[in-house]
């Protein structure tokens, strides 16, 4: 709508959707992306959440007018997890996009290797009954637990040792930023977009190909069995989370506004 008001003021477009996921929803996704490209080309700047997503607009927007500015963390960096609870945490709506069945498949591989650990999924959604049946079929009732969403998710990160994410796609997964802020190693599918921006493979966690259930399980097992590695990765996660502090993100916005 700002576009149709004319060009007598600066216009910044902020893209928070996953480009490819919209393209996959035909025909409306293609129509919406066509409108996006038409409008973005005429704005003074386009802000994307990740470098990967920004590349989808290189053919219609001058690269000098495309900026990558992620979201800022939603709570303060004041404490980190002691990493001694033997809990793996996953957070998100229980829907197809989050791909929690892959985590259950991985859990079946993990349980014999780390039987004294457990997985807690915080979330709810239409796919929860199916997920509960899958947990029962795999005899994982004592290893995988589904917990309703909580208002104080920070406390749950602080009471966990490892964060895992199995999404098929994302815009920018805030759960990874939150987990890193609490000093958790992260193991994630390398979906478009976000994990490759936030996870330095082998440093603060691991990224594996989307759908690589065994690879996901093996990386989580490696961290769970090695206390020194877990602590080292946790420290690296906390250090990396500084990139998403409110002041840091605000500075990026001020730089953008001063350039256009």
pLDDT one-digit tens code per residue, 106-123: 999 999 999 999 999 999
Residue 79 resides in a domain: no
pLDDT > 70: percent of the chain: 95
Residue 78 resides in a domain: no
The pLDDT score that the predictor gives to residue 3 is: 65
**What is the pLDDT averaged over residues 87-106?**
97
β strands within the chain, DSSP E:
12-15, 45-48, 66-68, 87-91, 118-122, 144-147, 162-165, 186-189, 205-208
User: Are 31 and 97 part of one and the same domain?
Assistant: no
**What is the pLDDT averaged over residues 53-68?**
92
Q: Is the pLDDT of residue 203 over 70?
A: yes
The pLDDT score that the predictor gives to residue 147 is: 98
The pLDDT score that the predictor gives to residue 225 is: 98
Of the candidates 144, 143, 183, 189, the residue with the CA atom closest to the CA atom of residue 165: 189
Positive/negative CA dihedral, 79, 169, 198, 208: positive
Q: Is the pLDDT of residue 25 over 70?
A: no
Q: Please check whether residue 85 is in contact with residue 208, taking contact to mean a CB–CB distance below 8 angstroms.
A: no
How many domains, in total, are found in the chain?
A: 2
* CATH at residue 175: 3.40.50.2000
User: Are 30 and 58 part of one and the same domain?
Assistant: yes
Write down the mean pLDDT value for the chain.
93
For the chain, the 3-state helix, strand and coil shares in percent, each to the nearest 5, are 45, 15, 40
Residue 251 resides in a domain: yes
pLDDT one-digit tens code per residue, 144-180: 999 999 999 999 999 999 999 999 999 899 999 999 9
pLDDT one-digit tens code per residue, 224-239: 999 999 999 999 999 9
């Amino acid at each position: 709508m700002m576009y149709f008001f004319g060009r007598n003021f600066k216009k910044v477009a902020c893209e928070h959707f996953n480009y490819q996921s919209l393209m996959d929803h035909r025909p409306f996704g293609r129509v919406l992306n066509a409108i996006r490209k038409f409008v973005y080309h005429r704005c003074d700047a386009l802000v994307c959440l990740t470098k990967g997503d920004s590349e989808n607009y290189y053919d219609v927007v001058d690269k000098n007018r495309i900026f990558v500015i992620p979201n800022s963390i939603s709570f303060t960096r004041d404490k980190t997890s002691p990493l001694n609870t033997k809990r793996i945490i996953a957070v998100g709506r229980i829907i197809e996009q989050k791909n929690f069945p892959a985590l259950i498949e991985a859990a079946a591989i993990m349980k014999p290797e780390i039987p004294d650990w457990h997985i807690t999924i915080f979330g709810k959604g239409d796919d929860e009954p199916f997920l509960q049946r899958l947990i029962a079929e795999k005899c994982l009732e004592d290893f995988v637990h589904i917990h309703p969403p909580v208002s104080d998710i920070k406390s749950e990160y602080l009471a966990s040792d490892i964060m895992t994410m199995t999404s098929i796609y994302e815009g920018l997964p805030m759960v990874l930023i939150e987990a890193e802020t609490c000093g958790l190693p992260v193991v994630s599918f390398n979906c478009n977009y976000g994990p490759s921006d936030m996870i330095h493979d082998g440093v603060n966690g691991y990224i594996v190909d989307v759908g690589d259930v065994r690879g996901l399980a093996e990386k989580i097992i490696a961290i769970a069995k090695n206390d020194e590695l877990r602590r080292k990765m946790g420290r690296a996660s906390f250090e990396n989370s500084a990139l998403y502090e409110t002041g840091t993100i605000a500075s990026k916005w001020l730089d953008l506004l001063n350039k256009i």
